[in-house]
Chains A and B, each alone.
Chain A
Amino acid sequence: MSDDLIVQAQGLSKVYRRGSESVRALWRADLRVIRGQFIAVAGASGSGKTTLLNLLGCLDRPSSGSYRLNGREVAGLSERELVGIRRREVGFVFQQFHLIPTLTVRENVQLPRMFGAQAADRTDELIDRVGLAHRRRHLPRQLSGGEMQRVAIARALANHPALLLADEPTGNLDTATGRQVVEMLRGLSASGLAVVVVTHNPAIARQADQILNLTDGLIREEG
């Protein structure tokens, strides 16, 4: 197996029970993401985008199928083992940024390290990389939306992940700021990171190396 293969999912499914009914949130998805690839996941609301992201980020376990992350099968791991995987292998960026309001930019970026992420401390380097060196000691309320999302990106990189997952990262930003954030994610993938972005925005999807369109839990096409 190539060292460049970060995500390899085969027949990945997630079925929820809703009363007596079974809901196929994701059905038999096959997916490969290599190092440096920028993937966009598109689809209508309820199509299974977030379910796919949760499975890829080890926040949830699949009902069936295989999922190898960075060469390791993670589909059958315990919650404790999944925590370890999230700590080492995955970075998350959210639409709402989810910065802790009482922590400074620097402390927010350090957050994964507070929870035992073992990667070398690159906090200042990451803050420089997202262009916020002058904001290091500022609180989130003193930042613009774009700056907050850049802090969130730096935080997602604090554990030196192999896979970066972003859920509508430009959903709360204006067009120009959103474009800057996408350029930043694009730059990260160019530097070797595997990036998967969930988006409604066709302009962002068009910049991806590959687009996965989800409909009713099925990956319909790959562009």
Chain B
Amino acid sequence: MVLLAFKNLVRRPVRSILTAVGVALGIAMLFTSFSLDRGLDQGMQRALANTGAQLLAVAKGCPYEAAALLIHGGVGGRYLDEAHLDRIRQLPGVGLAGGLFMNQLIEGDRPVIVMGMDAVGLALKPWWVVRGRPFPDPLSAILPADKAARLGLEIDDPLTLGGRSFIVTAILEPTGSQDDQFIYLPLGTAQELFGAAGKLTAVAIQLDDLQAVGEVARGVEAIPDVQAITMTQVLGTARTLMGAAQAMVRSVTIIAILVGAIGILNAIMTAIFERTREIGMMKAVGAGAGDILMLVWTESILLGLAGGLLGVTLPLAVAGAIDAAVRRAIPFTPAGDILAFSLPAAVTSLGAAIALGVAAGLPPAWRAARISPMEAIRSE
């Protein structure tokens, strides 16, 4: 039966291929959507974990802005007074608290994000692999390896930033996170470079005890003009920001899947009209209504399966292009892979394709099963 169904599809190869491609587009979007949801979430959690902190103290203002700064880097409109850093360090439950200053300048025609950090800031990132000497003096700089390679710089080479000369004293090996996008300067030097002495973008806080997060957050918010943001809140904010774009992707996916279903319905219905006499012959030689229903249904399911296999393969083949398109379309995408392909998502997508074949094939299969052999043969 399966062989017969397969050979019936092969009889009209162009129609079958186009129908399968129609299904594949919908399934590819579904698989991409699943992988994107998972990838963005993992990337976001990775980005937050890479801050090395469980709590951030920022100037009172927009939490979305704080989340974007943290994930993507950039220019914050509001600053904290550096004097608050000592007060935060003295709060009960605080392990490490590092002052961070972030700003952006243009070098040539490229934006460069500068991150100022002190020794505590470095201690918050114990997984960093750094070659050379981090911040031996105020005019030293740490360059991520990719950036150093792009600029053709090595340790002890001079670096000009904002019209001032620095020396590259250390190279940060790739982290696969947003940390690879910045240039690192000593905190005081960075503040001075942007005319913001005594100002901080944020204080990254590592807790002694995670259970104390609420208590520490209340302590931070007791400081005037300072708000505390937990990583859970940042994650929630980031998810909200990405949610609208993901909802749009889901809507397009549903439409694409419906188009695929209509494609199958149309292809199978047309095939039945063309093969009416043949179906009559099959009934004459002993096929029951159930046999014909199963035959036509199998053809539809095979089309769904072919579309599903193609649809699951397609995103794997063009993952790079999807990554680039998503980064253009969705704000605050984290560094690293944002498409996390997984076997369960592939199996679910393939299952959806088969379900599509089952659903779209039923009406024509039912119709074919009810063809009268006599009428069909008489149509000769």
Chain B contacts with A in 1-28, Cβ cutoff 8 A: 1, 3-4, 7-8, 10-11
B1 to chain A minimum Cβ distance, whole angstroms, is 6
Provided the pairs A54-B374, A100-B7 are in contact, do residues A92 and B284 lie with their beta carbons within 8 angstroms? yes
B286 to chain A minimum Cβ distance, whole angstroms, is 4
Interface membership of A186, Cβ < 8 A: no
A59 contacts B284, CB within 8 Å? yes
B374 contacts A103, CB within 8 Å? no
* A54 to B277 CA separation, bound complex (whole angstroms): 15
A68: which B residues are within 8 A, CB to CB? none
Chain B contacts with A in 330-380, Cβ cutoff 8 A: 373-374, 377-378, 380
Provided the pairs A102-B7, A103-B4 are in contact, do residues A94 and B289 lie with their beta carbons within 8 angstroms? no
B282 contacts A111, CB within 8 Å? yes
Chain B at the A interface: SS class: helix
Interface membership of A216, Cβ < 8 A: no
* A95 to B378 CA separation, bound complex (whole angstroms): 11
A167: which B residues are within 8 A, CB to CB? 377
B378 contacts A50, CB within 8 Å? yes
Interface membership of B199, Cβ < 8 A: no
* A27 to B133 CA separation, bound complex (whole angstroms): 109
A92 contacts B8, CB within 8 Å? no
Interface segment among A3-11, A32-40, A114-122, A126-134: the answer is: A114-122
Interface membership of A189, Cβ < 8 A: no
- Choice from A54, A60, A98, A116 contacting B286 with Cβ under 8 Å: A116
A92 contacts B285, CB within 8 Å? yes
A100 contacts B278, CB within 8 Å? yes
- Choice from A57, A91, A114, A159 contacting B4 with Cβ under 8 Å: A114
Contact pattern, A 3-22, Cβ under 8 Å of B = 1, otherwise 0: 00000000000000000000
B374 contacts A98, CB within 8 Å? no
Interface membership of B287, Cβ < 8 A: yes
B380 contacts A87, CB within 8 Å? no
Of the A-B pairs whose beta carbons lie under 8 Å apart in the complex, a sample of 24, sorted by A's number, is A50-B378, A54-B374, A57-B284, A59-B283, A59-B374, A80-B288, A83-B286, A83-B288, A86-B283, A87-B286, A92-B285, A94-B284, A95-B380, A96-B380, A98-B277, A100-B7, A100-B278, A102-B10, A111-B282, A111-B285, A116-B288, A158-B285, A159-B285, A159-B286
| Extra 19 A-B pairs, beta carbons < 8 Å, given A59-B374, A116-B286 | A59-B283, A59-B284, A83-B283, A86-B284, A91-B285, A94-B284, A94-B377, A95-B380, A98-B277, A100-B278, A111-B282, A111-B285, A114-B1, A114-B4, A115-B282, A115-B286, A116-B288, A116-B291, A159-B285
Residues of B within 8 A of A (CB): 1, 3-4, 7-8, 10-11, 277-278, 281-289, 291, 373-374, 377-378, 380
